[in-house]
Structure 1
């Protein structure tokens, strides 16, 4: 299961087909939300192991001819604080900004560029707010931090029990953001920050599916993204090292992760003092000598627009997934072949397309393989969190 030779083998239980269906649905918390089929799986038997989140909502907005539909997946890392905050606060922020844009349009339809700007600027400003919540703790900036004692910093960043306050936790962890909006006129917008993926499937009158990847791949392994980061930090050979930002962070754009967005003294004095745990110490050891001209992570969303009413498709399906699904199909980068397979499975699966796609990812008709993925007796994580949202549009 991706571990080094010599580790294992580990026991697992081969389930009957009926039990396999039952436990796959149970462990992935399969459900239907506002018409979208949803699963989110992390089978490691430990409390709160899954750091993925998803949101599906319908918005009745003033001046609109019908409801807007929102679909979002957030893939947290290094903890739950940023992803929980983003799941809770980003959708209503985007809704509020969209309502303001509609109000300013005075009944006229919003042009695609305006909706794209709502998504792009909303995500960016949401993350900028996290940064300000941290820097506001130290009004004098890096020079003031350098003059403070550890006790002074600890007083500003921890509660009475000595634990980091919410502001610090939300900046020490991070999340991706994949957000899709569908307006009443069937315009689809997809905004991505990080490496979650969205694939649009269009079926023609002959029943043939076409698949289009609508999300970006903000990952250090992506040549264009790596080149962008290097161009923003000329002369810094280790701004991308081993396909990772500063040799540590796999994704090149994120919400949170202010360690990669602020001067090194914030990590060295603030984060290290607030939470001197093993994870942050290892991260600081690797990144601080390379943190010369931040920010290294971007919060700028890539936004795509598709006019679904102009496609002529007989059937339209949107598949959104965290990178756990990508890893099961094609490694770190979503391939065109894998994207087509997602659409063919989800488009032909009937009532439970997300569950069918998850089953295919874990082994499909190979009952023993899927059983092993669900029941193997390992105490550590053996697969990435995998969240899938499938919607008929």
Structure 2
């Protein structure tokens, strides 16, 4: 996620925006041919106006593509191009970039820099070979783009510091990469949830996000409380946005639902013993969820220290302290099928949004959480009240000037005392505490919990995602995109329209969704001026500003994915602009992190399952999942959901 001034990321500094674009013409030893290179030295301007530089490589490409392929920012010289082979001949040129005032020999020709004007390079039709491929070139910490001849070999050095050339993904390859980690499940429980879709797109390597989906069958003794109903489910969905490492988010995937379910179980059992209650009150349920969060964070952050000090082993310390030293936001939804209440517990700046039909049948976006950062007014006020006399408790919208989320698991350096941090540093490893650290903890894992009554019969849905999605799309765009996707699914649900579509994967739509013509130009959104407005504390999509995407451009969206979560990510990364999508997905780690975050998205569809869909099982929806068939005809890697 777009994180703090984390110490180990300070080396990534944005270069100067001067000398934005350069063009280079190269002649190879096999005859004259032209290879165009363009690069931009700065990607993000610190001014309020976004950069809108564009480039043309044979034909005009979008500004966001330039931002993606120019990730390194500064042109780097290929010193290896002047080397010769054993027979004295110059090797085949893979690519050359030159600085403002130097040229290097490349075979039989010389490369000369030509100045650019107005931030745009326009190339004539004769400036490119007949057959070219797009490529990204990485050289010792810098990255830029090029067109290379189609018959030219793409290779890389064998060591880790040498040159690497990456071929730009085609639209088909980009789509395949988008769907690599997608999953979709049909819920045949008959308890108000009919389907949920999930997808993950990494930017960090490995991805620092994680997620969980679990359905807990509630014991009859608890389910029967209040209304005598004997079958009930507790359903959980969670997205975890890790930072400074992947270990904390992985820990949450493994344990958070168990901690919360244990506290809920105890709360419901306690209510059964009180004849005046029979079911716990809303405040008691909220308190149980908060207790589960805080207990787990205490184990991660404080109990781990005691274990390390007792073990007296650096090996044990490295393993046990890892989730404490990294950190993670957490967004957990808890749906009680008996009460039809959805509780969303938010720790950090991941976000949940409810999509609900308005009077006209179009969709309304209702935020279910607030982004919790040092720049959120309510969080800033809370921290200043808890730490009076400390003006730097939030600095530039960050905790002690460093961490952006004000609530998180782990991040122990904002929770441990100076004495604890110094002791661990002296005996094991660590870093010097912040000079602003006085009265920790400054960061808490206690969530803010909201409760919403869900209307399954009305076709409510919820989108949960790490902030990588919300950096690119607004709440309304996300809800409108899912509504657009539903229209497309409903219009093609009839076997006559799509003979390859199975009844099991579309039957859930028939029960509650009115078939309407699919709209690919305008998002089906209600006017929300008199209903839900954009919630205070939720940030605008900064990536749109960075990429130069203009607001209110609904025609930039496209519907082509069977998985609703993948559909959202595709449109967040470019939509109809397939070149922008390819560029952003081609960028390798760590350069990609400057232009897009890790992305984890869940879409939960509520509805009334038909009688033939009540199988009691949670089944993989193969048509919207990236699966690998094994030799027995089954599917590898399918996780149990019960």
State the TM-score, normalizing by the size of structure 1: 0.82
Whether 1:392 and 2:605 are equivalent positions in the alignment is yes
- Give 1:224 shift: 1.6
Higher percent of residues as helix: 1
**Secondary structure, counterpart of 1:38 in structure 2:** strand
Structure-2 residue corresponding to 1:181: 334
**Residues 1:374 and 1:305: Cα distance change in structure 2 (over 3 Å):** same
Structure-1 residue corresponding to 2:353: 199
Q: Deviations over 1:71-97 (max 9, x none)?
A: 101111112222221211111111222
Q: Out of 271, 276, 299, which is 1:105 matched to? A: 271
> What pairs with 1:35-46 in structure 2 (closer than 5 Å)?
35-43=195-203, 46=205
- Give 1:17 shift: 4.1
Q: Out of 219, 224, 232, which is 2:386 matched to? A: 232
Q: Deviations over 1:29-63 (max 9, x none)?
A: 0111453100111146x4xx201010011110112
Structure-1 residue corresponding to 2:135: none
Structure-1 residue corresponding to 2:92: none
**Residues 1:264 and 1:324: Cα distance change in structure 2 (over 3 Å):** same
Whether 1:31 and 2:183 are equivalent positions in the alignment is yes
Structure-2 residue corresponding to 1:150: none
Q: How many angstroms apart in 1 are the aligned matches of 2:451 and 2:479?
A: 19
Q: How many angstroms apart in 2 are the aligned matches of 1:194 and 1:82?
A: 13
Quick check: 2:305–2:321 contact (8 Å CA) kept in 1?
Answer: no
Quick check: 2:169–2:585 contact (8 Å CA) kept in 1?
Answer: no
Q: Please report the RMSD computed on the Cα atoms of aligned residues, expressed in angstroms.
A: 2.4
Q: How many angstroms apart in 2 are the aligned matches of 1:381 and 1:269?
A: 37
Q: Out of 288, 301, 323, which is 2:467 matched to? A: 323
Q: Deviations over 1:94-123 (max 9, x none)?
A: 122222222223393443222212211111
Whether 1:306 and 2:443 are equivalent positions in the alignment is no
Structure-1 residue corresponding to 2:436: 290
Q: Out of 461, 465, 482, which is 1:346 matched to? A: 482
- Give 1:253 shift: 0.7
Whether 1:263 and 2:413 are equivalent positions in the alignment is no
Whether 1:91 and 2:257 are equivalent positions in the alignment is yes
- Give 1:15 shift: 4.7
Quick check: 1:260–1:297 contact (8 Å CA) kept in 2?
Answer: yes
Q: How many angstroms apart in 2 are the aligned matches of 1:51 and 1:262?
A: 23
Structure 2 gaps, min length 5: 1-12, 18-40, 42-72, 74-142, 147-165, 188-194, 224-230, 490-561, 607-642
Q: Out of 360, 367, 391, which is 2:578 matched to? A: 367
Q: How many angstroms apart in 2 are the aligned matches of 1:128 and 1:174?
A: 13
Q: How many angstroms apart in 2 are the aligned matches of 1:234 and 1:346?
A: 45
Q: How many angstroms apart in 2 are the aligned matches of 1:384 and 1:17?
A: 20
**Secondary structure, counterpart of 1:253 in structure 2:** coil
Q: Deviations over 1:157-177 (max 9, x none)?
A: 512xxx634332222111111
Q: Who wins on radius of gyration, i.e. which is larger? A: 2
Quick check: 1:268–1:288 contact (8 Å CA) kept in 2?
Answer: no
Quick check: 1:168–1:271 contact (8 Å CA) kept in 2?
Answer: no
Structure-2 residue corresponding to 1:146: none
Q: Deviations over 1:329-356 (max 9, x none)?
A: 3xxxxxxxx1011111123314411111
Q: How many angstroms apart in 2 are the aligned matches of 1:377 and 1:259?
A: 30
**Residues 1:376 and 1:76: Cα distance change in structure 2 (over 3 Å):** closer
- Give 1:313 shift: 6.9
**Residues 1:371 and 1:96: Cα distance change in structure 2 (over 3 Å):** same
Structure-1 residue corresponding to 2:208: 51
**Residues 1:261 and 1:377: Cα distance change in structure 2 (over 3 Å):** closer
- Give 1:156 shift: 2.4
Q: How many angstroms apart in 1 are the aligned matches of 2:401 and 2:376?
A: 15
Quick check: 1:13–1:371 contact (8 Å CA) kept in 2?
Answer: no
**Secondary structure, counterpart of 2:355 in structure 1:** strand
**Residues 1:188 and 1:377: Cα distance change in structure 2 (over 3 Å):** closer
- Give 1:267 shift: 2.1
**Secondary structure, counterpart of 1:289 in structure 2:** coil
Structure-1 residue corresponding to 2:288: 118
Structure-2 residue corresponding to 1:172: 325
**Residues 1:317 and 1:257: Cα distance change in structure 2 (over 3 Å):** same
Quick check: 1:204–1:313 contact (8 Å CA) kept in 2?
Answer: no
Q: How many angstroms apart in 1 are the aligned matches of 2:14 and 2:320?
A: 36
Q: Deviations over 1:315-338 (max 9, x none)?
A: 201000001112223xxxxxxxx1
**Secondary structure, counterpart of 1:188 in structure 2:** strand
Q: How many angstroms apart in 2 are the aligned matches of 1:137 and 1:315?
A: 49
Q: How many angstroms apart in 2 are the aligned matches of 1:95 and 1:154?
A: 30
> What pairs with 1:133-144 in structure 2 (closer than 5 Å)?
133-137=303-307
**Residues 1:314 and 1:133: Cα distance change in structure 2 (over 3 Å):** same
**Secondary structure, counterpart of 1:288 in structure 2:** coil
Q: How many angstroms apart in 1 are the aligned matches of 2:14 and 2:361?
A: 41
Q: How many angstroms apart in 2 are the aligned matches of 1:249 and 1:266?
A: 19
Residues matched between the structures, number: 352
- Give 1:13 shift: 5.2
Higher RCO (CA-CA < 8 Å; seq separation 6+): 1
**Residues 1:43 and 1:255: Cα distance change in structure 2 (over 3 Å):** closer
Structure-1 residue corresponding to 2:244: 78
Q: How many angstroms apart in 2 are the aligned matches of 1:188 and 1:155?
A: 42
